[in-house]
């Protein structure tokens, strides 16, 4: 039996292609949103030996950002975002990073002001601000105006909204893939049907030709 193989396999690639496009679109892996520090105030220093502390920000797997100006507790430091050490970090998707404020320590391992999961979805304020406050430690304001434009972050502040969005995307993708598959199967079936009909026809004609040949061969006999 003849199966239209090449046609069939071309059709089955389509869903994966569409899935790839959708996946790329929804994870937004092309985006790059910069996060800068807008202000900071530390409420204490951890180092006893040195007079001036060395405070820095660090995201796991990235480089330290030392704040050269932050030297005193209970002083409000305001930044315009253009300082030489800005931006603090980048978000390229809605995935969170493990980040924190630390203070260099000359004897033991560095002291921790705070360490947390830093997420683009934290920047829910319309001006792209995020305030992180830890009692007796610090109060910092971050700025990321581009974070709101990361797909899956904007207009979905709650976990519930994000889940609903996720379900909607999955349903949409499933529907799309099913539709494409169905169309592919129908096309393949029609193609196969046509091919079989042609083959049957050819075989039928061949039968006649063969019959003629036999008749021709036997023709001599009929003349007699
Ligand atoms: C970290 O710093 C080193 C040297 O200063 C540099 O080569 C590297 O690219 C930096 N890494 C990141 C992620 O910025
Ligand atoms: C953020 O991304 C920009 C552009 O891709 C790059 O130049 C910069 O070094 C990145 N900064 C950090 C802290 O990763
Ligand atoms: C932290 O700093 C921000 C920005 O200056 C300010 O609006 C907020 O009231 C401060 N929060 C606390 C608890 O001090």
Annotated domain spans of the chain: 31-151, 153-218
C-alpha to C-alpha distance for 89 and 122, rounded to whole angstroms: 14
User: 193 preceded by cis ω (within 30°)?
Assistant: no
Side-chain half-sphere CA neighbours of 26 within 13 A: 15
Residues with CB under 6 A from ligand 2: 32, 34, 87, 89-90
Q: Could you tell me the distance, in angstroms and rounded to a whole number, from the CA of residue 90 to the centre of ligand 2?
A: 6
Q: What are phi and psi of 158, to 5 degrees?
A: -90, 160
Nearest atom in ligand 3 to 76's CA: 5
Class of domain 31-151: mainly beta
Residue 125 contacts residue 109 (beta carbons within 8 Å) = no
Top mutation candidate among 57, 63, 85 for ligand 1, by most atoms within 8 Å of CB: 63
Residue 87 Cα: closest atom of ligand 2? 13
Ligand 1 contact, 63 CB (< 6 A): yes
CA 44 to the chain's CA centroid: 39
Q: What is the pLDDT along the chain (224 residues), one digit of tens a residue?
A: 544 444 444 545 555 555 555 555 555 444 689 999 999 999 998 877 767 889 999 999 999 999 999 999 999 999 999 999 999 999 988 889 999 999 998 888 899 999 999 999 999 888 899 999 999 999 999 999 888 877 776 554 555 566 777 888 888 998 999 999 999 999 999 999 999 999 999 988 888 777 666 556 555 555 55
Q: What is the pLDDT of residue 50?
A: 66
């Amino acid at each position: 039996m003849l199966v239209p193989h090449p046609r069939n396999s071309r059709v089955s690639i389509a869903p994966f292609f569409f899935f790839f496009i959708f996946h790329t679109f929804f994870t937004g892996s092309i985006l790059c949103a910069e996060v800068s520090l807008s202000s900071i105030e530390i409420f204490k220093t951890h180092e006893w030996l040195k007079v001036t502390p060395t405070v820095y920000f660090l995201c796991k797997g990235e480089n330290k950002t030392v704040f050269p100006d932050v030297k005193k507790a209970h002083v409000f430091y305001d930044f315009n975002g253009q300082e030489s050490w800005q931006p603090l970090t980048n978000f390229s998707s809605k995935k969170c990073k493990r980040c924190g404020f630390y203070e260099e320590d000359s004897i033991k391992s560095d002291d921790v002001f705070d360490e947390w999961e830093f997420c683009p979805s934290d920047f829910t304020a319309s001006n792209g601000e995020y305030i992180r406050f830890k009692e007796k430690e610090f109060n910092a304001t971050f700025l990321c105006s581009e974070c709101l434009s990361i797909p899956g972050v904007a207009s979905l502040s709650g976990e519930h909204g994000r889940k609903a969005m996720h379900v909607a995307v999955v349903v949409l993708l499933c529907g799309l893939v099913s539709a494409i598959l169905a169309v592919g199967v129908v096309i393949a079936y029609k193609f196969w049907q046509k091919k079989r009909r042609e083959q049957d026809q050819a075989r039928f004609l061949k039968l006649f030709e063969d019959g003629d040949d036999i008749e021709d061969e036997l023709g001599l006999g009929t003349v007699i």
